[in-house]
Structure 1
């Protein structure tokens, strides 16, 4: 498999693209602070005539993510639209109303369910399906904490709707588990899982529709660049959509793609990608202009 091209900065290829579908967590912030150089790179792309659509596996619908970005001092000039896994997942949940749904996740994800007409089940025994956004307390819980809880749902062959396909994210200097890790556990127990976020098609359809509305014309897919640090989400999603990808090889991967000189080692980046049978046209340690 061909190694990704080591990109000095977004500016080196910006003229080749009209649209960026850019991941959020791990590319422009780490959950505790935003990264000014990454935000400025996106803002400059917008200023120079491009269109940035942020595409996130957050289980919350777009308005909640806007609030979070504002709190983290991400300039609104860095994006023109946002599409989340929560947005895409609401369509799946709505099709299954009234449920009842056995819901697992922190209280902050409650907006995902607003206005869908879902009834809530107290346990797997009373549910028609399971909906997961992530661990209830992601500061301390691991997927194994849910094995016993998931057993009755798997035994009843209940479908799980997972609103966040990410396995892990970096929060500050820590790696925490996300909904995708719980979905992996459920599948390993024989359970059925449905997801609409990255790398699956529904979220890309929403994002490209947003881009078309902003451009006022159909999107030329050869001029769309996906940016992200998740190999099995961002990179795999780009591959499945036939879109170019810039792999941000730091973040959740630590120094795994860094050479002895402190710079990106394309061979090491390729090893991270090959482990999941994926490919990225470009790679960089961080998003800069």
Structure 2
């Protein structure tokens, strides 16, 4: 049964490393959550390592710069692992060919910068859809919905193009505004019979990358790692799939379903987890 805790400090001595989600846990897409920053500072002060584990479709250096703008200080974490980097490993290994059609924002173009972790990377060229060997999706432009891209996906499916999804999140909350993410488009493509390749949470590849980043800092066994996140289908499903303990932050994407104010309503939380068939070890209203 999932235990509701009031603060991370209640359980943090049991762990040597934390894989912490960003959007919904550390910030709201606009600014940092002060209590979450304090929790990370406290964990590092007691010797814990913090790996920011995010489904952002960009390289970790770009995310580090973004965190500064969001007032998440660099001294509250040790390293970053992104779904963008995980997907780039596959991209530059040739998973969807060398001629790639990009769907996403201009701000995501850093996704196509060469990755030093890949030996002899494939030379990637961004091309129009009719010349593409594959699709790389980093997000939905502007206020687009997946349905706005149905015609494009139908054409891609007819050509048999694989779709590389750099962010498996379906929705994100930017402040008080809910937006579609790349996972929504990949999900529609799969429903249409297309081939979608995922590399962020809950897929194993991003956890392999997170462990590699952690290994650069400390040797921590899985039983001493905890995953913290607000996405039941990404953060929590991924952690459980990896055999890692999970702290479910209910005040993010599932705030309404769990009737979270400062803490989740126990009955609503139990009903939500039962419906999702998930059993994280711990839950908390907001990461603090």
Q: Deviations over 1:154-189 (max 9, x none)?
A: 112211000000111110101110000001111111
Distance 2:62 2:271 in 1: 35
Q: Which runs of 5+ in 1 are unaligned?
A: none
Q: Output the aligned Cα RMSD.
A: 1.5
Distance 2:235 2:49 in 1: 18
1:120 maps to 2:126: yes
1:193 maps to 2:191: no
CA contact (8 A) 1:19 1:52 kept: yes
Structure 1 residue 257: Cα displacement: 1.2
SS at match of 2:247: strand
Q: How does 1:24-103 map to 2 (within 5 A)?
A: 24-96=22-94, 99-103=98-102
CA 1:151–1:220 in 2, change beyond 3 Å: closer, same or farther?
same
SS at match of 2:228: strand
Q: Deviations over 1:60-115 (max 9, x none)?
A: 01011001100011111210000100111111101117621111000000001013
Specify the alignment match of 1:212 in structure 2. Answer: 215
Structure 1 residue 262: Cα displacement: 5.9
Structure 1 residue 275: Cα displacement: 3.0
Q: Normalising by structure 1, report the TM-score.
A: 0.93
Q: Deviations over 1:252-278 (max 9, x none)?
A: 22332136x863223322333333322
Q: Deviations over 1:118-165 (max 9, x none)?
A: 112211x3211111011021xx11111111111110112211000000
Q: Which runs of 5+ in 2 are unaligned?
A: 115-121
Q: Normalising by structure 2, report the TM-score.
A: 0.93
Distance 1:8 1:133 in 2: 35
SS at match of 1:193: strand
Distance 1:210 1:95 in 2: 20
Structure 1 residue 8: Cα displacement: 1.0
Distance 1:205 1:227 in 2: 17
Aligned pair count reads: 280
1:108 maps to 2:107: yes
Distance 2:217 2:151 in 1: 47
